[in-house]
Structure 1
């Protein structure tokens, strides 16, 4: 999830906002609670709307590389069309300028959609007996 840079978490307990680390993003993705870096209480994403937005980040991961490929292909086609005489130099310049402008607008919109602040809710700690049962169950599965 390297494309998800810029995701922040807001702790409901200590009211602090902090940048989420990759292991915290993975914990949110697989619905496992993790500790707040400030107050050390257990946090978990409970809002279904934010969870859907978080899981939809994978759709935006390939926008930048695909826009680079599309922009390069369009610039090459415009250059070849101008070289063959199908476009004038001014038309080729205008097409290239419009292509680069569209490229930057789409990449900026994708980055805007990737930046979010997740409202993390405090969860009650599990009793030691439940944690021991969960650990035994996970170890027996392996």
Structure 2
């Protein structure tokens, strides 16, 4: 098989990720917007690990290494999605396994991600992968660009 996991490093690879990311983040209206956002986020340490099969991105995880007073050094997984055509084939588990090893090598004490309260399928998947609930996150939307 020609499947493999690798970090996205070029704009061409990033553009190949857009169709899969769009399934998770439908508000990303254009490929150019996606590229611009990820490029900006990259300046803050955001990376994408993509699963490739036959030259096509079939799943991906967006992540970053962070540190705070709650956890210390940790890996935050912003995005985790398998493409609709390849769900159920173990891509999410492989991505999480790879990220776990990477986080351990980077001396992180925890791997953290968020999922929606109503997303029962994702919650069951995360429990099967050994992730446990540890907090409830609160937030509110703010007026963008308010002076």
Is this a same-fold pair by TM over 0.5? Answer: no
* Structure ranking higher in strand proportion: 2
* Structure ranking higher in helix proportion: 1
What TM-score results when the alignment is normalised by the length of structure 1?
A: 0.23
Please say which structure displays the higher CA radius of gyration: 1
State the structure with bigger RCO (CA 8 A, min sep 6), 1 or 2. Answer: 1
What TM-score results when the alignment is normalised by the length of structure 2?
A: 0.23
